[in-house]
Amino acid sequence: MSRIFITGSADGLGQMAAQLLVKDGHQVVLHARNGNRAKEALAAVPGAETVVTGDLSGIAETIKVAEQVNKLGTFDAVIHNAAVGYQETKRIETADGLPHVFAINSLAPYILTCLINKPKRLVYISSGLHKDGDATLRDLEWNIRSWNGYMAYADSKLHNVILAFYAARQWPDVYSNALEPGWVATKMGGPSAPDSLTEAPKTQVWLAAGNEPEVLVSGKYFYHKKLRSVHPAAADPQVQDRFITECERLSGVKFPA
């Protein structure tokens, strides 16, 4: 059995993945934004080992989340699930002066990847919308561009794939992959989303704890347990290096050698 940490597991697909993993006998550590959400998370996932708390919109709190996780010991897998959608009609600035969407969806997974003791597997939740993301990586802070919530979200989901593929390149001893769960009727996806909510959490569970040969790969992108095409820039080492350099600059956290 595996020990797995899941960000953003107080509700939605993170919670559903946690429930499936616990049902299969795995040890699961949850994450929630604050204490009240933590209580809700534990109530919704009976059998979870524990929960760590921290608001991933802030660099300092994200670092504290990593510290909490490391105090719990080692993990076989980390599922980077936490994200916000693209309903924001204006640029919402975090305490660090960053766009809310970028801070949570892009920078927090980077910081956690750098600081959490290296697991055997890394799983990043992206979206089919990543193909609309801006591969130039210009103006990640949205200081120059006119705010566009859809594009900010698409950019962040491209960033998730870039990070997954960079980790796969840097750490050959880790299985690092990304996936899209489909457009499903979660709080983020909305009630009219057409894809299967039942199928949506299964690929991340499979990548985190499965033992089939199809799972024991790295630098791949999946949809419903099948390989799927990806934005070509995500696999470009120059694009990856540029993204990591920007994340280092903005967070002050360096990717481990």
Question: Does a structural domain hold residue 103?
Answer: yes
Question: In sequence order, what are the residues at sequence separation of 6 or more whose Cβ sits closer than 8 angstroms to the Cβ of residue 137?
Answer: 239, 242, 243, 246
Question: Does a structural domain hold residue 257?
Answer: no
Question: Does a structural domain hold residue 169?
Answer: yes
pLDDT of residue 193: 57
Question: Does a structural domain hold residue 160?
Answer: yes
pLDDT of residue 86: 80
Q: What is the CATH number of the domain that holds 128?
A: 3.40.50.720
Tokens of 57: 């919109």
Which pTM does this prediction carry?
0.96
How sure is the predictor about 257, in pLDDT bands with cuts at 50, 70 and 90? confident
Mean pLDDT across 98-127: 98
In whole numbers, what is the pLDDT of the chain averaged over residues? 94
How sure is the predictor about 92, in pLDDT bands with cuts at 50, 70 and 90? very high
Cβ(219)–Cβ(163) below 8 Å: no
How sure is the predictor about 100, in pLDDT bands with cuts at 50, 70 and 90? very high
Burial class of 249 by CB neighbour count within 10 A (0 to 12, 13 to 18, 19+): exposed
Percent of the chain predicted with pLDDT > 70: 95
pLDDT of residue 147: 96
* pLDDT over 80 at 195, yes or no: no
Question: Does a structural domain hold residue 256?
Answer: no
Order the strands of the 77-80 sheet from edge to edge: 50-53, 27-32, 3-6, 77-80, 121-125, 175-180, 221-223, 226-227
* pLDDT over 60 at 243, yes or no: yes
Catalytic residue numbers read 153, 157
Secondary structure (DSSP) of the chain: --EEEETT-SSHHHHHHHHHHHHTT-EEEEEESSHHHHHHHHHHSTT--EEEE--TTSHHHHHHHHHHHHHT---SEEEE-----S--SS--B-TTSSBHHHIIIIIHHHHHHHHSPP-SEEEEE--GGGGGS-TT-TTTT-SSSPP-HHHHHHHHHHHHHHHHHHHHHH-TTSEEEEEE--S-SSTTT-TT--S-TTTTTHHHHHHHH--STTTS-SS-EEETTEE----GGGG-HHHHHHHHHHHHHHHS-PPP-
Mean pLDDT across 193-205: 80
* Total domains present in the chain: 1
Spatial distance between the Cα atoms of 114 and 80, rounded to a whole number of angstroms: 13
How sure is the predictor about 185, in pLDDT bands with cuts at 50, 70 and 90? very low
Least-confidence region, from 45-54, 73-82, 137-146, 179-188: 179-188
Question: Does a structural domain hold residue 15?
Answer: yes
Sign of the Cα pseudo-torsion (141, 66, 38, 164, in order): positive
Domain containing residue 186 = 3-251
Question: Does a structural domain hold residue 64?
Answer: yes
The more confidently predicted of residues 90 and 43 is 43
* pLDDT over 60 at 53, yes or no: yes
From the list 57, 38, 117, 108, the residue with the least C-alpha distance to 30 is 38
Mean pLDDT across 128-139: 97
